[in-house]
């Protein structure tokens, strides 16, 4: 329904608004994933396992919100490439989290610091995916 309305918009308008929509939908997705991470840490899970659960749960949620609200397409053919990008982002995030925790002994604060850099990287990855899969 919303995806159909997005598809009917002039292409220039959609392209110009995409980064702004990605930012707002990304904030929703980030808050969701970060809350899952905090819950997992609160349950006593190791940082890497908490991050893994937040990425797994977040990937499904994010696929539908990003695909529908930003790119106007949640084609099943995009799900597995989306998951592969999420795996890449997970391992990159895990490496950066491990490095950062050597200086800051607080996984919740360390992950908070990584939110913005990871959001920028994810935008470029997902934008490329949805362009390639059109």
**pLDDT, tens digit, 9 for 90 and up, residues 27-83:** 898 899 889 999 999 999 998 899 889 988 988 898 888 888 887 777 788 888 888
The pTM score is: 0.67
Mean pLDDT of 108-134: 82
Q: What is the pLDDT of residue 129?
A: 74
* Total Cβ atoms within 10 A of residue 59: 19
Length of the chain measured in residues: 134
Place of tokens 């099943």: 76
């Amino acid at each position: 329904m919303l995806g159909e309305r997005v598809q009917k918009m002039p292409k220039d308008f959609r392209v110009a608004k995409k980064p702004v929509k990605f930012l707002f939908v990304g904030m929703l997705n980030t808050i969701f994933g970060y809350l899952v991470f905090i819950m997992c840490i609160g349950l006593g899970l190791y940082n890497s396992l908490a991050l893994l659960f937040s990425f797994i749960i977040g990937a499904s949620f994010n696929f539908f919100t990003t695909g529908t609200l930003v790119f106007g397409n949640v084609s099943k053919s995009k799900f597995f490439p989306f998951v592969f990008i999420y795996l890449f982002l997970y391992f990159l995030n895990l490496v950066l989290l491990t490095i950062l925790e050597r200086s800051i002994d607080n996984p919740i604060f360390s992950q908070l610091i990584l939110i913005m850099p990871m959001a920028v990287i994810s935008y470029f990855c997902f934008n490329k995916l949805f362009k390639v899969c059109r």
